[in-house]
Structures are given as C-alpha cells and as structure tokens.
C-alpha cells in the first residue's frame, strides 16, 4: 500500500490543534512529528490548511425504500457525495421488511453496500417492533456482527411505530447486551390525529406537514423516551433532535447525570418553518420529520452544540427527487419524508459554526467526527488523528468558497435545500485509509473500496 506524507498543515483533533507533519503507511497513521522528511509515494502540501480527521455521518438512508419511492442516492452515489464533502465514514440504517429477521435485513443491506460504497460504512438496525426472536437477534448482532445500535420509532403509526411496552423491552435488552438504543422521538398517535384533521379541512399544502407535527409532539416523545431509558437503566441516543422544547428535556436529563445523548442536523440549524411557504409546491422539498422549526429553535440548538448538550451533527440524508415529492402535490402526508445533506454537512457546520464563533475548530471536529466515533463504537480507529488510527484525513481549507447548488454538488438528486448559499471553508483533499479519494474537486476514489465496519460498544465521553 502506498505511503503518504502530509506536510506543513495544522492538525486539529477534538482536543488539540498543532502544526505537524503526518506519515501514512498501510492505510494508517504511522508517525506524527514536526519536519518529517521520509521518502513517500505521495507528498501532500497542506500549507495554509488544517488537517482534520475524516467526517463521520451516523445518520444516513441510502437506497432506502419509502412507500412507492426509494431514496435517490444508493451506496455508490451517496458515499461518493459524502467524500466530496469531507465525510469518510457513514453509519446507515438497515431496516427489515415487516416480518423479516434482523440477520436477514443485515444481509440485505450489506448486499446493497458491498461493491458500491466508496468509503467505510457500518449499520444501525432499525426495529419495527418486538418479534419472538428480536432480543436474541439483537444480542447476536451486537456480539458477532458489529451492529451495536438499534433504532426505534415513536412515530409513523402502522408502519414503523412501536408501542411503549416494546420500546421498554428493547431498552432492557439493549442494556443486557451492551447496545445503544436510538429513538426517533415524535408522538405518532397525536400527529396522526392532527394530520387527519388538517386533511379533513382541506389543508393539503406542504406547510401543514410542519403544523401537524408541532414541537410539543417531539418534546413529549423525547421526555417519554428519556423516562423509559431511565427506568430501564439503559443509555439512549435521540436522533435528529430539532427544537428547543425537546432539547430542554435532554439538557435536564443530562444535568441529572443520565446517559442520554442526541444529534441534530444542519437542516434544523440553517432552515426554518418559513421554507414551507416558498412559492408553488417548493415547500415539498423541505418535508422531513421532524419538520423545520422556528429561528429561535435554531439558536437553542447552536447553544446545545456549543455547551455539549448535543454531541453529534449528522445529516439524516434521505433524498427524494422532485418527481418523488410530486406524489404529495394534493396531500402533504403523501410527500416522501427526507432531504439531501450528506455532502454539505461539514461545510455548513464550519461556515455557520466556526466562522461565526459559535463553536471552535476542536468542537467542530468533536461534533462531526470524534463524538460520533465514540458514541457509535468506531473510536479510536476513526474520528481522530493518532498513531494507529485509520488515515481518514481531510485537508481543509478554511477559506475555500463553495456555492452550494444541485448542479455542482454530487448527490443524485435534482435540488439542494441550500441552493445558492455560499459557504466558506471546505475540503481540498480527502483521504480514506491512506488513499486520496478526492483531490481538489476531482474524484479519485472507486466504488466498492469502502469496507464494512464491525462496530464496538459505544464509549460515551
Ligand atoms: O424525514 C425523514 N427524517 N426521513 C427519513 C426517515 C426518518 O424518519 O429518519
Ligand atoms: Zn432518519
């Protein structure tokens, strides 16, 4: 395997920032030091740039069926787009068909990624409920297969929503086998009533998607999930937390010392409920669950990221084409839920977080790479720059300007929620296990080079 020398950069991890060179051998970081002069197959000059650990996005939905549609990026296009944005590892969701065993679902989803993924990847397992074999399969997946996190939905009744008893039993089972329970926290029953009421009144436009999923429905499900995790004595990770009301419950629980964690996503930091009122049917582009919130919620989330109440920024990348979104032209509840974001996460977080002074560069690394690695069992192989860690590295130019547009981004979808926005700070070279896969905007990677990651148990900080 070729050796690489990265010279003259400033290394930034979640805990440090210092000038040093890096030597990569066998796909791993072999040496870190000042003024290294070793013969190498490739020498990269990182002058004026930062050298960061590759980003880790722990919430993606590639090649995911959703009703009659399928998310537009598969493991080839989605992981390539991720790399263009500085992300070198993803953790996607394997979702069983109704009645399908968890082990069979894992095989299916590994089959989707195998031969296609260009960066390393792992899987969480989504649960549709509690079958006869679920708890035993959870133990087996955790012990033998490197799938150490399980996601339950408190929303989407009749499709994915689980009842409280099943949720509680999964929490107990997860505690038993040392796995982490992830929760989509929205009260699906209440939302269902609100949606039916809106449709009965003829309120069919995209804005009613947000109005029928108010913050209270998320806050209630969040505090319920936290209460059940506390009763079970199990850790909990709340996915895509979107609003101040839910964050307040999380913060209160963490202040009590409870092992509860959460991610938010760029869409909740940069977009708002006003986007649903864009002209025509444009609001459909922003239909996702939870929905976009008020600008006051954005500020609360930034505070949570800075203080440490929120540990991760992930994307919930789940793109649907404009054609797919058309399915809900006359009924917002038929618009496939989800939006693209796998490529833009780190650029947005840098521009809106570091450049504005809301977070510093180390906190940026913590939220985009180190925190996700620790919580989801990838640390220290991923998420840091240390001797022995995978050489998943990003040479990051803090001044690089990018105009975000569907035309130039690499995700396989015909719109960007951030169309026309210019961000400063972005990746110039991206390396995965010592291989340069993106070089100044040019694709050097290869479909199928990504490896399945058997994850370990979470190591919450
Ligand atoms: O709207 C969303 N979030 N779509 C993806 C599926 C999910 O709920 O995470
Ligand atoms: Zn999701």
- Does the beta carbon of 316 lie inside 6 Å of ligand 1? yes
Binning pLDDT at 50, 70 and 90, where does residue 459 land?
low
pTM: 0.98
Which protein residue has the closest C-alpha to ligand 1 atom 7? 289
For range 76-87, the mean pLDDT: 99
For range 239-246, the mean pLDDT: 99
With the most atoms of ligand 1 within 8 angstroms of its CB, the residue from 70, 73, 154, 289 to mutate is 289
Task: Give tens-digit pLDDT for 175-219.
Answer: 999 999 999 999 999 999 999 999 999 999 999 999 999 999 999
All residues with CB under 5 Å from ion ligand 2: 316
Instruction: Ligand 1, residue 337: give the atom nearest the CA.
Output: 1
CB 4 within 8 A of CB 391: yes
Which protein residue has the closest C-alpha to ligand 1 atom 5? 338
pLDDT at 1: 84
- Does the beta carbon of 288 lie inside 6 Å of ligand 1? yes
pLDDT at 343: 99
Strands laid side by side in the 87-94 sheet = 55-60, 87-94, 120-126, 149-153, 180-184, 236-238, 260-264, 312-313
Task: Give tens-digit pLDDT for 318-360.
Answer: 999 999 999 999 999 999 999 999 999 999 999 999 999 999 9
Cα 265 from Cα 279, distance rounded (Å): 25
Which protein residue has the closest C-alpha to ligand 1 atom 8? 289
Following CA atoms 386, 387, 393, 396 in sequence, which dihedral angle do they give, to the nearest 10 degrees?
Answer: 50
For the chain, what percent of residues have pLDDT higher than 70? 99
Residue 301's nearest CA partner among 263, 330, 329 is 263
pLDDT at 442: 98
CB 381 within 8 A of CB 398: no
Task: Give tens-digit pLDDT for 354-377.
Answer: 999 999 999 999 999 999 999 999
Instruction: Ligand 1, residue 318: give the atom nearest the CA.
Output: 5
Task: Give tens-digit pLDDT for 1-53.
Answer: 899 999 999 999 999 999 999 999 999 999 999 999 999 999 999 999 999 99
pLDDT higher than threshold 90 for residue 460:
no
**Ligand having the closest approach to the CA of 314:** 2
Residues pairing with 236 in the sheet: 181, 260
pLDDT at 457: 83
Instruction: Ligand 1, residue 288: give the atom nearest the CA.
Output: 1
With the most atoms of ligand 1 within 8 angstroms of its CB, the residue from 210, 318, 340 to mutate is 318
For the chain, what percent of residues have pLDDT higher than 90? 98
Cα 90 from Cα 62, distance rounded (Å): 10
Binning pLDDT at 50, 70 and 90, where does residue 261 land?
very high
pLDDT higher than threshold 60 for residue 461:
no
pLDDT at 207: 98
CA distances from 263 to 155, 182, 293, 429, 452 (A): 18, 10, 16, 27, 23
Question: How many other CB atoms are there within 10 angstroms of residue 252's CB atom?
Answer: 14
CB 46 within 8 A of CB 398: no
Q: What is the mean pLDDT of the chain?
A: 97
Tell how far the Cα of 166 is from the centroid of ligand 2, in angstroms.
20
């Amino acid at each position: 395997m070729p050796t690489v020398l990265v010279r003259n950069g400033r290394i930034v991890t979640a805990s440090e920032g210092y000038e040093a060179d890096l030597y990569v051998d066998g796909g791993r970081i072999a040496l870190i030091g000042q003024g290294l002069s070793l013969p190498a197959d490739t020498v990269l000059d990182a002058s004026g740039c930062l050298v960061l650990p590759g980003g880790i996005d722990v919430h993606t939905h590639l090649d995911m069926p959703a009703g009659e549609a399928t998310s537009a990026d598969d493991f080839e296009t989605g992981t390539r787009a991720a790399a263009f944005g500085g992300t070198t590892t993803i953790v996607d969701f394997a979702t069983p068909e109704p009645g399908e065993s968890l082990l069979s679902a894992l095989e299916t989803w590994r089959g989707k990624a195998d031969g296609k993924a260009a960066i390393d990847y792992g899987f969480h397992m989504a649960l549709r409920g509690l079958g006869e074999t679920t708890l035993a399969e959870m133990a087996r997946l955790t012990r033998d297969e490197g799938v150490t996190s399980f996601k339950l939905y408190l929303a989407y009744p009749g499709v994915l929503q689980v009842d409280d008893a099943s949720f509680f039993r999964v929490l107990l089972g997860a505690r038993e086998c040392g796995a982490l329970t992830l929760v989509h926290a929205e009260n699906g029953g209440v939302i269902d009533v609100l949606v039916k009421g809106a449709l009965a009144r003829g309120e069919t436009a995209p804005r009613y998607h947000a109005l029928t999923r108010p913050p209270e429905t998320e806050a209630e499900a969040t505090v319920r999930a936290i209460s059940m995790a506390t009763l079970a004595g199990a850790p909990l990770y709340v996915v895509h937390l979107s609003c101040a009301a839910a964050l307040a419950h999380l913060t209160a629980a963490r202040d009590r010392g409870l092992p509860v964690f959460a991610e938010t996503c760029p869409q909740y930091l940069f977009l708002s409920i006003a986007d649903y009122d864009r002209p025509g049917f444009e609001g459909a582009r922003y239909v996702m669950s939870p929905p976009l919130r008020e600008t006051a919620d954005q500020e609360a989330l930034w505070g949570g990221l800075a203080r440490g109440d929120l540990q991760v920024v992930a994307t919930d990348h789940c793109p649907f084409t404009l054609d797919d979104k058309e399915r809900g032209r006359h009924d917002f509840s038929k618009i496939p839920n989800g939006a693209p974001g796998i490529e833009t996460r780190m650029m947005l977080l840098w521009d809106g977080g570091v450049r504005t002074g809301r977070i510093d560069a180390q906190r940026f690394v913590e939220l985009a790479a180190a925190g996700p690695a620790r919580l989801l069992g990838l640390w220290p192989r991923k998420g840091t720059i240390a001797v022995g860690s995978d050489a998943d590295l990003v040479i990051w130019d803090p001044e690089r300007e990018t105009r975000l547009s569907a035309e130039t981004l690499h995700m396989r979808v015909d719109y960007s929620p951030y169309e026309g926005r210019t961000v400063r700070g972005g990746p110039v070279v991206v390396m995965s296990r010592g291989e340069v896969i993106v070089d100044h905007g040019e694709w050097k990677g290869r479909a199928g080079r990504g490896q399945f990651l058997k994850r370990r148990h979470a190591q919450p900080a």
